[in-house]
């Protein structure tokens, strides 16, 4: 593992030495980084289920060395990191262009430093190295987000991201302060040995939820995510959404299930509620977006909410000593971590190819790209199907496992929860349906229909390295969909480490092609059988059409309602597609309508949908901070005599306090 991290840092250093040599950085250094990522993925997979390995490195401050630990939980997230970054780095080798703000060599350093810091966050075994790497991850990703720093909106998005990242980091630092229980030892081994009271354990959990939630983008700490993702280059957006958000999930899992010695049932209810609100908020806002990267950013908020729902349900089961069901819910959450990392990274890199091919991010100016960018279109379709939770891809498996977990909640020894949980399950089904609706909009508006702009006829398909990177991510999504039993068996050591229950015997008791986490009699899913059934149905339909209707096909213009002057503007737009959702969930939005004037040469109707939490929560906080800063600024008179007076009064106050 450390060899791979060293290689990443070396690649970044060589990038600085070749600061403006674009061809060397893009065609040599980024593929080398992809190869190192693949080695990391293989090494992490081989370490899964083995004994925990620890190391102490002579870095840091005197008496504060770096403590590292590789266990099954770390190995899983390293495997996700390595697998996803292999494809994204290959895509980045063909994606980055000259003249996009940051010099290519410096971008190479920031990129590989970002990868190394995420890996070290996962490997950290004490609060010191964790926080150092957490801040390194935040700073390196900030510089990547603001790569095109000449644009004011991009700088603003980067500052917002950095602000919330540091607010969350303060909460995480306070959480570690509570976990070490005034012992002065900030190693994770010492934190595991502490037995906190329910009160202090709850304080630590709430601080962890706030701190890691700020990085993950849970409600109401999500506001940076739809701003930073559109601002960042597409490979960076893919890494942030696919991998960096998962480091926050890792941190919350590590604190809740590993470092804390007690788990309370209401923690699960809180996490379940926050996750449900986050998922519903994210999918509703995703459905009405007209910017393709903002649409995917809100979709990431939705998927993080689903992961939190799985974790909350697992925590609820665990608190009531229902270990088997806790393991099932945790398996759903961890599976969704991997599947979301693959399909969301794929969708972000596909939008990067669309952006380079057309120069457009606005859905209202796209359309018909399947004619000009067929590779990108078909690969995007696989990502959209996985994001919609359709079989036989990875997104379906995790959501199916999550719904299976909800079916067992009537066994909870709490009548109120038994009544509440079915409502949550129904909301999850609604979220899944809206996610499918959003992906139909995403793919249909971009790739189907007719081009809405004349310049789209000049669009070009992705390059060779970009195609290879996308194909790699497609392969992961398909593998997660077709081999769920094998993958669950592989990650069962992680589930056992956290929930103290081993799912592998029940999985191994069934055929390799059948997924039945509890029992075949209860519920089962055969992805290979489903795929063969779909293939057989399509083949049969093709044969029947060829036999009975071949040669009878007649092409004609679509029904035009009596209006013969058809053009691309007659087809459904992104705004029109999202209009029913906008009407149903209107209380969620803050909308501004721009109505056309009858005297306009080109009348235009536009609806701006904004996040109400920005105006209800963040702007009032910003105004109060600015007002307090002005009051504090009044103390700065610029005269040394006044500053000496402040020091004298402070000294007198301290002496009086000491005397009392």
Among 546, 564, 585, which residue terminates a domain? Answer: 546
- Is 415 among the domain residues? yes
Mean pLDDT of 221-243: 89
Same domain, 388 and 282: yes
- Residue 500 located in a structural domain: yes
Q: How confident is the model at residue 463 (pLDDT cuts 50, 70, 90)?
A: confident
Closest by alpha carbon to 119, among 49, 172, 66, 60?
66
One domain for residues 633 and 525: no
282 and 385 together in one domain: yes
- Looking at the structure, do residues 622 and 514 belong to the same domain, yes or no? no
Are both 313 and 407 inside the same structural domain?
Answer: yes
- pLDDT for position 95: 84
Do residues 284 and 588 touch, judged by C-beta distance below 8 A? Answer: yes
Note whether 79 and 37 are within 8 A (CB): no
Q: Are residues 522 and 652 in the same domain?
A: no
Q: Does the residue 213 lie in any domain? A: no
Would you state the pLDDT for residue 508? 67
Strands 590-594 and 64-70: unpaired
Q: What is the pLDDT of residues 489-499, one digit of tens each?
A: 888 899 888 88
Domain end marker among 546, 566, 596: 546
In a domain, 490, yes or no: yes
Residue 435 placed within a domain: yes
pLDDT category of residue 56 using cuts at 50, 70 and 90: confident
649 shares a domain with 503: no
Strand 64-70 relative to strand 606-610, pairing: unpaired
Residues 506 and 654 reside in one and the same domain: no
In a domain, 349, yes or no: yes
Based on the domain organization, do 331 and 470 belong to the same domain? yes
At 85, list the tokens. 């970054």
Same domain, 625 and 527: no
With bands split at pLDDT 50, 70 and 90, how would you rate the model's confidence at 343?
very high
Q: What is the pLDDT of residue 98?
A: 61
pLDDT of res. 546: 77
Tell me the average pLDDT across 355-383. 88
Share the mean pLDDT of the chain. 85
Is it the case that residue 600 has pLDDT exceeding 60?
Answer: no
Average pLDDT over residues 516-536: 77
Least confident of 245-249, 360-364, 608-612: 608-612
Q: How confident is the model at residue 509 (pLDDT cuts 50, 70, 90)?
A: low
Residue 575 within any structural domain of the chain: no
The boundaries of the domain holding residue 505 are 263-546
In this predicted structure, which of 245-259, 275-289, 341-355, 529-543 has the lowest mean pLDDT?
529-543
Total domains in the chain come to 2
Token representation of residue 181: 């229980």
Whether the Cβ atoms of residue 406 and residue 312 lie closer than 8 Å to each other: no
498 and 629 share a domain?
Answer: no
| Digit-coded pLDDT (tens) for 171-201 | 999 999 999 888 888 889 999 988 888 999 9
pLDDT at 304 over 90: yes
According to DSSP, residue 596 is labeled P
Domain final position from 486, 520, 546: 546
Q: Which residues pair with 606 in a beta bridge?
A: 594
What are the structure tokens assigned to 143, written together? Answer: 């510089």
Check pLDDT > 60 for residue 603. Answer: no
Is 375 within the bounds of a domain? yes
- Mind listing the pLDDT tens digit for each residue in 58-94? 776 777 788 899 999 999 999 999 999 999 999 998 8
Q: Do both 644 and 505 map to the same domain?
A: no
pLDDT above 90 for 473: yes
């Amino acid at each position: 593992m450390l060899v791979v991290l060293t290689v990443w840092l070396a690649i970044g250093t060589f990038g600085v030495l070749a600061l403006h040599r674009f061809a060397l950085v893009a065609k040599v250094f980024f593929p080398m980084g992809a190869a190192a990522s693949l080695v990391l993925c293989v090494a992490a997979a081989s370490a899964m289920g083995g004994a925990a390995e620890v190391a102490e490195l002579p870095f840091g401050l005197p008496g504060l060395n770096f403590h590292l630990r590789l266990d099954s939980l770390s190995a899983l997230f390293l495997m996700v990191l390595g697998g996803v970054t292999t494809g994204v780095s290959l895509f980045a080798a063909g994606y980055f262009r000259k003249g996009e703000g940051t010099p290519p060599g410096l971008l190479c350093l920031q990129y590989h430093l970002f990868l190394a810091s995420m890996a070290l966050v996962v490997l950290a075994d004490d609060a010191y190295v964790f926080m150092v790497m957490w801040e390194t991850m935040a700073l390196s990703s900030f510089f990547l987000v603001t790569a095109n720093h000449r644009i004011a909106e991009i700088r603003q998005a980067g500052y917002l991201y950095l602000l919330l990242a540091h607010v969350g980091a303060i909460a995480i630092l306070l959480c570690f302060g509570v976990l070490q229980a005034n012992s002065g030892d900030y190693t994770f081994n010492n934190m595991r040995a502490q037995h906190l009271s329910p009160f202090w354990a709850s304080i630590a959990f709430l601080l962890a939820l706030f701190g890691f939630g700020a990085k993950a983008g849970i409600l109401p700490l999500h506001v940076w995510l739809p701003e930073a993702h559109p601002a960042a280059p597409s490979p960076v957006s893919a890494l942030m959404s696919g991998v960096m958000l998962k480091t926050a999930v890792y941190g919350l899992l590590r604190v809740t299930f590993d470092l804390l010695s007690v788990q309370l049932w209401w923690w699960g209810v809180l996490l379940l509620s926050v996750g449900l609100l986050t998922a519903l908020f994210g999918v509703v806002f995703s459905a009405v977006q007209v910017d393709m990267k903002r649409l995917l950013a809100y979709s990431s908020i939705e998927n993080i909410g689903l992961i939190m729902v799985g974790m909350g349900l697992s925590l609820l089961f665990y608190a009531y000593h229902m270990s088997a069901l806790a393991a099932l819910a945790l398996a759903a959450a961890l599976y969704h971590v991997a599947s979301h990392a693959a399909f969301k990274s794929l969708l972000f890199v596909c939008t990067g190819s669309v952006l380079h091919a057309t120069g457009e991010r606005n859905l209202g100016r796209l359309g018909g790209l399947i004619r000009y960018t067929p590779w990108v279109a078909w690969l995007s379709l696989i990502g959209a199907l996985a994001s919609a939770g359709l079989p036989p891809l990875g997104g379906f498996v995790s959501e199916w496992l999550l719904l299976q977990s909800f079916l067992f909640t009537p066994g909870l020894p709490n009548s109120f929860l038994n009544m509440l949980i079915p409502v949550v399950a129904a909301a999850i089904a609604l979220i899944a349906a809206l996610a499918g609706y959003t992906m139909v909009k995403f793919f249909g508006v971009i790739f189907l229909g007719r081009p809405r702009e004349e310049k789209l006829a000049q669009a070009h398909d992705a390059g060779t390295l970009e195609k290879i990177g996308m194909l790699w991510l497609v392969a992961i999504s398909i593998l997660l969909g077709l081999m769920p039993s094998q993958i669950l068996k592989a990650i069962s050591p992680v589930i056992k480490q956290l929930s103290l229950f081993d799912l592998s015997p029940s999985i191994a008791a069934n055929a390799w092609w059948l997924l039945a986490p509890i029992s075949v009699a209860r519920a089962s899913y055969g992805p290979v059988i489903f795929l063969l059934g779909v293939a057989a149905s399509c083949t049969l339909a093709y044969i029947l059409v060829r036999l009975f209707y071949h040669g009878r096909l007649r092409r004609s213009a679509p029904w035009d309602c009596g209006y013969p002057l058809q053009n691309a503007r007659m087809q459904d737009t992104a705004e029109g597609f999202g209009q029913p959702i906008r009407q149903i969930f209107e209380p969620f939005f803050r909308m501004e309508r721009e109505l056309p004037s009858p005297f306009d040469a080109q009348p235009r109707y536009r609806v701006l949908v904004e996040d109400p939490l920005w105006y209800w929560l963040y702007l009032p906080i910003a105004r109060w901070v600015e007002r307090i800063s002005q009051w504090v600024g009044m103390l700065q008179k610029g005269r040394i005599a006044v500053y000496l007076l402040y020091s004298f009064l402070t000294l007198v106050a301290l002496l009086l306090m000491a005397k009392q």
